Amino acid sequence: MPMPRTFPASADRQFVQIVDSAVADATSRSGKWLACRPGCTQCCVGVFAINQLDVLRLQRGLAELEKTSPDRAQSVRFRAQHAVARLSAEFPGNPVTGILDEGDDAERRFSEFGNDEVCPALDPATGLCELYEHRPVTCRVFGLPIRSEDGIGVCELCFQGATDTEVLAAELNADPNDDESALLRKLEKTTGTKGNTVIAFCLST
């Protein structure tokens, strides 16, 4: 999964700034109910789907880490390669490209897949993310109250004992104008690569 170097990093940075600003505001409104802190790694266990913007961000982050700390970058890639080896046999998609299948059956298979797999970007010695500044949007917003088809969801470690009113008061809307969708379409058109993958596959090469 080669890094799409031709897509401008500035466009993604602007989008990330919007997300991070919304996260900062929701974090402020969450107050004591937000348990997230450095070294808390519960959200780093279990695979989840990332889009091609996330791939671009992670691969650029790994390339930067290789310049400043090649040993740490090699450790990330080594962990990713071992994760791919473990995950490939039951991967709910194409194990060569790393692209996930789509459809109801694929979603069912993915829900049962890799739930105990630790993110390769996580440094097991420090409990910190080696690619934190370049992490996917899912990682940026995790823990805060987010609305979905099933209602408001939060991390099980956060908002313990909070009332529904207190949870709703901290609700996060990270992308109010749906900027990610437009940016993703432009990236996929530029690179010709479409579909979601998981972190291990995009960091293994």
For the purposes of burial, counting CB atoms within 10 Å of the CB of 135, is it exposed (0-12), middle (13-18) or buried (19 or more)? buried
Identify the bridge partners of residue 50 per DSSP, sorted by sequence position.
197
- H or E stretch including 129? strand 128-129
The two tokens of residue 43 are 């959200």
Query: Residue 1: pLDDT above 80?
Result: no
pLDDT tier, 9 (very low <50, low <70, confident <90, very high otherwise): confident
Domain boundaries, the chain: 45-203
The two structure tokens encoding residue 157 = 């470690």
Mean pLDDT of 22-46: 94
> Mean pLDDT over all residues of the chain?
93
C-alpha distance from residue 178 to each of 18, 22, 127 (Å): 11, 13, 32
Task: Please give the structure tokens belonging to residue 102.
Answer: 């789509």
pLDDT of 4 higher than 50 = no
Asked if residue 2 has pLDDT above 60, the reply is: no
Return the pLDDT at 3: 47
Gyration radius of the chain over CA positions? 17
- Over residues 170-184, the mean pLDDT reads 95
Phi and psi dihedrals of 119, rounded to 5? -60, 130
Question: By three-state DSSP, how is residue 151 classified?
Answer: strand
pTM for the whole structure: 0.92
Model confidence at 149, pLDDT cuts 50, 70, 90, reads: confident
Residue 36 buriedness (CB in 10 A; 0-12 / 13-18 / 19+): middle
Q: What is the average pLDDT across 38-62?
A: 95
Mean pLDDT of 142-163: 92
